[in-house]
Amino acid sequence: MNNLEICRMTAWEMRESIAAGEFSPVEAVNAVLDRIEQLNPKVNAYCTVVADSARKEAQQAEARVLRKEELGPLHGVPVSIKDLVFTRGIRTTGGSRLYEDFIPEQDSIVVERLKKAGAIVIGKTNTPEFGWVAVTDNDIFGPTRNPWNLECTPGGSSGGAACAVALGMGPLAIGSDGGGSIRIPSSLCGVFGIKPSYGRVPASPGFPGLWEGLSVTGPITRTVRDAALAMEVIAGRDDRDHFSLPDTHLSYLPLLDDDLKGLRVAWSPDLGYATVDEQVLKITGAAVKTFAGLGCVVETANPDADSPQDSFSAQVAGSVAAFPGSEMEKSRDRITPDFARFIERSLNMLATDYLKARVQNIEYSSKIQAFFADYDLLLTPTVAVPAFEIGIPGPREIAGKRAAPLGWMPFTYPFNITGQPAASVPCGWTDDGLPVGLQIVGRRFDEGPVLKAAAAFERAAPWADVYPPLG
């Protein structure tokens, strides 16, 4: 088996092949590291690669295979970790010069669980400074490029993670999502990503206060099965995270073979207020028809709720004012200028304005929950546009209409407010060969139907064997 064949394997296949002795963890890690060496200079998905420690851990993993020890569900599988997630002994910058040389003394709970499952961390993937925008660029490492068009952004803020998975630079990437940061790059890079329910995957320890009440950690993969496998490893209660949810003792993998007959599914092409690119509407609308063919009862419907853009932005501003706002006086010259200006504006926010925004978000969540009393799932485009050029925070115009700052990502951040699980599945390509994603949103605390629906759609319209031009 050659390196390219190994790199194109799913995490599930890789683990099974390692356990069967078809190749070793050392061969798996070396194949992925060679792939990174070959392609990362073109796309800048990885900002830190830990080849020496990965090879050492692979040798230890190989020894356990030879001793016929019990192997974890990700034994020998190379994984990448977003540069916002703490990794013990590995530089974690958050994409910020404030933490350019920071090396955590602890793993985040997610990384701790991945290692216990046998996964091998091979590096950190690029992110914008503290994940504050939905494109991937920062003053330390520069921009990450889209694997389908190097002049375009992969989205963000988990853009390095999604780009790496799309190019076979590791079958499993861990990202985080405070307003769409797993789903947006998954859509723009043509891979699968799921934002779990808020609290389903413990997130501590980490940078203090970032995206408070909004951000979750989750997997980006080529297949739904790999994401379900990762969720079985990383999900579950841990009281080191104050918001950690109680265990459900639910196994996600068996759900993937279930059918969708009788599920009530709402299709909203615009949530009642969004402007969407014509090709995106055409591609996602065609994908929705697949769900009707799978036995779902599909209706076009919108929640009775206006755009929460202002209250979402205010909640983000309040958390940013606390951190890294506390660093502004002594370290402004080490913060990206645009981000520094955003922080300065946020520092003028009154506590009453922040609390008002939180109340508005609670009211918005109540309206969405009422909508889900009638539907099991909601389908929307993941992003309102295909990938756009590097160097801008977002398109200024969509379908001939002027776009608000968050106008190109109107479908993702609402479900960070509500805390619901939501995934992006690849559902087609534009005339220019850029991928488009369909978002599947489930009820609060119920990832199972989201993964089940994503798996059924994957069987009906498979995407995993379609690769970017770089290979």
User: So where are the chain's domains?
Assistant: 3-460
Give me the residues paired with residue 429 across strands: 435
CA atoms of 288 and 106, how far apart (whole Å): 43
Burial of 351 (0-12, 13-18, 19+ CB in 10 A): exposed
Burial of 374 (0-12, 13-18, 19+ CB in 10 A): exposed
Q: Kindly state the helix (H) or strand (E) to which residue 424 belongs, with its residue range.
A: strand 422-429
Contact indicator for 170, 79 with CB cutoff of 8 Å: yes
Global confidence as pTM: 0.98
Alpha helix stretches (DSSP H) within 326-350: 328-331, 337-347
The CB density around residue 371, as the number of other CB atoms within 10 Å, is 16
Give me the residues paired with residue 297 across strands: 264
Longest Cα–Cα distance in the chain: 64
Among 389, 393, 371, 388, smallest CA distance to 380 is for 371
Compute the Cα dihedral for 119, 125, 128, 129 and give only its sign.
positive
Active centre residues (catalytic): 82, 157, 181
The CB density around residue 73, as the number of other CB atoms within 10 Å, is 17
CA atoms of 164 and 39, how far apart (whole Å): 9
pLDDT attached to residue 286? 98
Helix/strand/coil for 386:
coil
Residue 164 vs residues 37, 245, 470: alpha-carbon distances, Å? 12, 30, 12
pLDDT attached to residue 209? 73
List the pLDDT tens digit at each of the 471 positions of the chain: 899 999 999 999 999 999 999 999 999 999 999 999 999 999 999 999 999 999 999 999 999 999 999 999 999 999 999 999 999 999 999 999 999 999 999 999 999 999 999 999 999 999 999 999 999 999 999 999 999 999 999 999 999 999 999 999 999 999 999 999 999 999 999 999 999 999 999 999 999 877 889 999 999 999 999 999 999 999 999 999 999 999 988 899 999 999 999 999 999 999 999 999 999 999 999 999 999 999 999 999 999 999 999 999 999 999 888 888 888 888 899 999 999 999 999 999 999 999 999 999 999 999 999 999 999 999 999 999 999 999 999 999 999 999 999 999 999 999 999 999 999 999 999 999 999 999 999 999 999 999 999 999 999 999 999 999 987
CA atoms of 457 and 286, how far apart (whole Å): 12
- The one-letter code for the residue type at 80 is S
Helix/strand/coil for 192:
strand
DSSP letter, residue 255: G
Instruction: Name the residue with tokens 């402007």.
Output: 275
Work out whether strand 120-125 and strand 78-82 pair parallel, antiparallel, or are unpaired.
parallel
The CATH fold of domain 3-460: Amidase signature (AS) enzymes (3.90.1300)
Contact indicator for 204, 241 with CB cutoff of 8 Å: yes
Q: Which two tokens stand for residue 416?
A: 């960070």
> 365 CB contacts (<8 Å, ≥6 apart)?
417, 418, 419
CA atoms of 238 and 414, how far apart (whole Å): 26
Q: What are the φ/ψ torsions at residue 92 (nearest 5 degrees)?
A: -135, 105
